[in-house]
Each structure stands twice: as structure tokens, then as C-alpha cells.
Structure 1
Amino acid sequence: MVYALIMAGGIGSRFWPKSRIECPKQFLTFFEKKTLLQTTIDRIRPIIPPERILVSTNADYVSLVKEQVPDLPDDNIIGEPVARNTAPCIGFASALLHHRDPDATMVVLPSDHYIRDDDAFLKDLQTCVQLTENDGHLVTIGITPTRPETGYGYIQYNDEQKVTAGDSAAYPVKTFAEKPDVQTALKFLQSGDFLWNSGMFIWKTGAILNEIKQHLPVLYHQVALFAEDLQKHNGVMRQKTLESVYTSCFSVSIDYGIMEKSGNVIVVPSHFDWSDLGSWMAIYELQSEEADQDGNILNSGNSLAVKSQNCFVDSKSQKLITLVGLQGIGVIETDDAMLICKLDNSQHVKEVYDQLKGDLHSKYR
């Protein structure tokens, strides 16, 4: 049986001031009437019903998940007591699913990505599921790069060892590369054997648990304690136990802890448009069809642009916002804060968020 884990624990600091501690990015709307979390879950509903979908999130956001996805069973929501990155998140969710179904196939998806063609995505996902049936493969989806992007990690694959699955292809992974500089990204693009790392994974729960046991033994010990507690309490996930094992873990990503070390990873090149929505620039680019003749996107009830090009305004207030003689500027306004930045520097908004400390500024986090 196929199950899904939706990872929804981040704070979305690059989307300040819209993304805040009390309601971060994944619980907000950007393009549709539905939030990013709701859209992610709706995307997989045709093949994975809510009773087989887990959501792992910060314990403070459990109520938000219940509110936004009311048909998700309560015991399918994992409330992380502390942030420990993706490896512990995946490890404990794998143990929970493995207890429920020892032959479970697990699809791991971030909650806050943008995918344009749902049908193509589901077809690729089903290809990945098929590839997990043999040899304990860890399968990931790679995105065909369209530009020398420095904001994504990369996956290099071996194009001489093609693996077929239906009418799709997959390849053994050679290396995972961290976010490169511009020159390195250009070389990756020109080589033709690199894909963007999407952060989407598919595997048997038994396979990923074996990899954690081999490469992250300290984490595996805590996962095993969690699994023992599930066994003792008839599969009931106790928050007390989760807090104990989670706080005993160190922070490590699944990429660094497992994917870069495993020799059993294969990648399926995607057939859909994708963005990890990593900055306000990404939002601007994805709304390009709504731009005026000067490339401006004015998502505001009351704004004007004069002698300005390629600017972005997002505001729900009726305050008049005017741009004069500006190029590539973003203006994002909420009830209590305003961000003005160059769109091509919007990935640095996180640094503003990190400085919101002390009595004067912490209320804006």
C-alpha cells in the first residue's frame, strides 16, 4: 500500500512579513484559494486517500493542520516537539507507517512546493512507486534544470545505466551537490547529467529504516525506542514518548544523513514544472502571466507604477502604494510590517527575520 508523509514543520522565514511564527508559509495562500498545505494534499488525493497521509509539523501547528485538513485523522498528525530537520522527521514517520503496514511504500513530500501539472506529477510518482518494489531502492525525483540556479541543490546521475519503468526512465545517482555558485551551476547545466534536487522521496519504509540503521545509528536507536512504544500501546502514538525520543536526536537533513551516503539511490527526471517557492522572486516569476506591459505585478487594491519595470507589490490594505522609477523591486505589506527589497536579493529576507529579536522587534517574527 502507498502512503504519504507531508513535511510541514518550517517557519518560512524567507516569506516574511507574510509568513510568521503563528502562521507560516505552508498554511498561507499565494496562488489559489487554498493554502500550500491544502494544495499539496489535494494533489495526491487521487492515489493516496487522507487515511494514508501523515503530516509532520511543529507541535504548535497541529491545530492549524486539523483546521485546514479536517478529514485527516488526528492520529495521522505528528506534532514535532522540537525542530530537528528532515532525517528525524522521516525516521519517526517511517516507524509509524512500518508499524501499521510492514510492506508500506512511503512518499515523502514538502508541504510548500509549487507544481503546475498535477497529472504529470502523479504519473512520475507512480513510476517512482514502481521502482521501489525491487532491490530496496531509495527513489527521488529530479527536476530538469532550465537555468544555472544557485538556490537549489543538484543531483548528478549516471546516464549510462538507464533503468526503465513503464515508458519512463530512471538513473543511478552519482553524487548530490550543495547549492553552487554561478559558475559551477553553469557547468552543471552544460554537462547535461545534473538535475535539481526536489526534496521529494519514495521508498519502502523497511528500506529507509535499514539505511538509517546503517548511516545514522544514534537516530536509529531513538526510532527503535519509538517503534517499541508503538508496539506496547497497540500503535497509539504517545506525545510523551515522541517528546522524549525527538529531543534526544541531533539535527540532520535526510540528504546529508542518508542520500549522500547511500549507494542505492536512483533518480527519476520530472515531467512537470516545479518551484520550491524559496523567495518572493519565485512568487513574482510564477505570476508573470499577470504582469502588465512593463512587467509589474500589482497584487494590491490600490497601487500605481510609473516609469517602473519588473516590480512586485503584495498588499491587502487600501493604502495607496506608488512606485516611481524603480526596477525589480518588491513591496510586501501586512497589517503591521512592510518589506521593501530587490527581488533578486529576496532570498536574504531570512536575514531580516533572524534579526527580529528583543522587546522592540520580536513581536514581528
Structure 2
Amino acid sequence: MNIPVFVDLTPEEQFALLGAAQIRHLPAGEVLFYEGDSPDTLYLLKAGRCQTARGEIHPEMLIDPVATLGGLPHSVKVTAAESSELYCWPMERLQQSAAFNAAARRYLARQLQQTSARLSQLTAPIHYIPNSAALFPGPFLFEDATMLFAFCEANPDSVQNCLPEGLTVLQRPGKKQAPVLLALADFPSAYPQHLPTARFAYTETTYFIPVRHGTTFGFYVPNIYSSAYEPILLGREIYGFPKRLGETVFGVNEVSLTVDGEKYLHLKWQGAESESESRLVRALIDWLGLEGRLASAAFKAGEILRRASRLPGYRRVNVFNHRRFLAADSAHHNPTYAINELTQAAFGVLKWYQINRLNVPSLQILGGAFPNLTLREGYRTKLDMRLSTARVVRNYVARS
């Protein structure tokens, strides 16, 4: 069990604290504590589900830990959404341990640092073109990006139902599950290609579905969660990315996504091993249900030819988005759109710094559009990338 406050303790100290925990049963509907109550116990949800105004609490999550460890009044009311079991530690007893007190201080320091970084993202100024106040149309560059790719599968009906007209899922016929790619990214330096001074930083989680549009292959984006407002505005207005505010947090061998106070997913692994780009390509093709070994061999042959011809190393992948803006006379029960179109842009990998395959990865899905998502394989990469400008490939308004 990976309890945040306990991770800095030795295995012996962790074992002793877990052994000292009391178990409390909380019937469905019962309140654990109210906002403003004084904390005297540290709680960890063992089984079941609890609810707060900010979202849900799932097993192996601490309950209002910052207030409890900091000696502050509870910041939320917590109610059992279903019959639950909790680990309980009286704070008076925990504070008798010098090792625990030191671990708690480090935990609170990390939480303060994360909160400060989050506030910096949310209050960062938004760049725009002087005089017109328009957003920059791209292309955009992303330097020193960290991206985790999780090759997943989901129910084919839920995947197909989220695609707009003109797109079909790209996969081998007869497969029972449909492919969904999770990309969890940390972008420390993003900016318009022609204006490096307009830099911004954010984290992001994107759901990609491999699709076909006519004879063109690419990925469609049904869900994407950014941690700052500038990429949300740019993504929605310029490209049609359906961006929402969400916080993607990177830790040591783990990353999580939280949306509106509710944790949507948690990916963790046990170390990583260096891999080649051709191995990543093979994993991608295997995930689609095609012949990965042949694709990997073809990629290597193409790479040799590219180098012999001294061509630039530039990998591209198309990305499709459904760009929509409501019409002035649109009604909630019958929405109509002034702009309703399918856009296409291209992500390009300018440079790979690192490609690592995750060892023993596990993915916990707690919310979001694909509740039954299952993980096949995961990779952690470091790279420079580019997003082209977008073009319209289908106008749904004109057709109607």
C-alpha cells in the first residue's frame, strides 16, 4: 500500500504504523466529520467510497490529510457514499513518533509546493496578439516535454459512439476491444513557433482514438484535460480540442489526473527500462492488432534509408478534432452551431531524448468517459515536439 505520508518511513516503521491502525466501519450515508471540526484522527479509506463537495474518495486515499496533519479545522464534510471501512490513527499517538513527524512535515512541504505551482499555472497571464487581442494561431513548439503513453483498450461501442461523422476506428477487424491511447504530459516550455517569448507551462492528459478519415490515418481526441487556461483557450478556439480544466500530477513512478476535485485515473509502475523508437512503434502496431514485428522491421529499414539520404528526422501523426461553437439562437434542449467542423493538424516529434518502457505498470480508472479502460503497455518519453496549424477537412454546417 502506497500511503503518501508513510513513503518516507522505513519498511519497519511503515509496518508498525499499519499494525497499529484501528478499523472503523462507516455505514452508507453516515458523516465521518463536518467542515470546521477539529481533527484528532488520520483516516485512510480501506474499502468503499466516500463523498465530499469536491469529489469522491476511493480506497487507499487519505481523507483531508493536509488539515489533519497541519492541525487545522477540517476543510470539507465527508460522507460515506456506500458502506465503507477506514484505517484510523489517533493523531496524539502518531505525533509521539519523531520519524512520523518528520515524514508529515515533508508531506506538507510537498503539498505546499504543488499548490504554489498550481496557483502559478492558474494565474499565469494569457498571451495574445497586440491590438487585435486574438490568440496566436500556431504552429506551437513544446521543448523538453515529458510524455507517458499508456496503450489501453475499451468497450468498442463507447469508443465508436464518441466519434463524429466521417471518422471510423482504426483496428484489426474482429478485435473485441477498441484501442484508446492515454497520453499524460508535462509541458514546461510551450510557445508559438514565431514568438519564443510567449512561453507557458502546463500539464495535460489526453485520450486519443486511432481513426481513419478517408485514406488518412490519425488520432481523434474525445477528451483532454489541461491544468492552465491558456492551452484551454488555444485548444478550443484554434484547433477544436475539447479541453477542460484538470490537474495531471507527476510523482515518482506514478501520475494521476484529477478533474473538479475527483480523481479520474492513477497510473503507477515499478521502474523503467530504456527502449528504442522502433520498439515503441512495434508496441503501437501490436496495440492496433496488426503485425508489430513487420512494422518494426519496416521502420528500421526506413530509418536506414532516411539517414543514408540525409533526410531530417521528423515523425508526424495527424490529429482530428470536432470544432464547434454554439449559434446565437441555440437552445439547451436543441443545440445548433454557428461553427461545426472537423479539423486536422499534425503533431511532429522533433527530437527524442529518452524512451523508457514501464515495468509492471498498473492503471486505476476512477472516473471519466471510459470507466472500463484496461492497460496493455506503458512508455515514458522525453522529447521536443511541434503542433502544426489546423485546417478544416469537413464542414458539417455546410452539409446541413
State the TM-score, normalizing by the size of structure 1: 0.22
Relative contact order (alpha carbons < 8 A, sep ≥ 6): 1 or 2 greater? 1
Give the greater-gyration-radius structure (CA).
2
Q: Which has the higher strand share?
A: 2
Q: Which has the higher helix share?
A: 1
State the TM-score, normalizing by the size of structure 2: 0.21
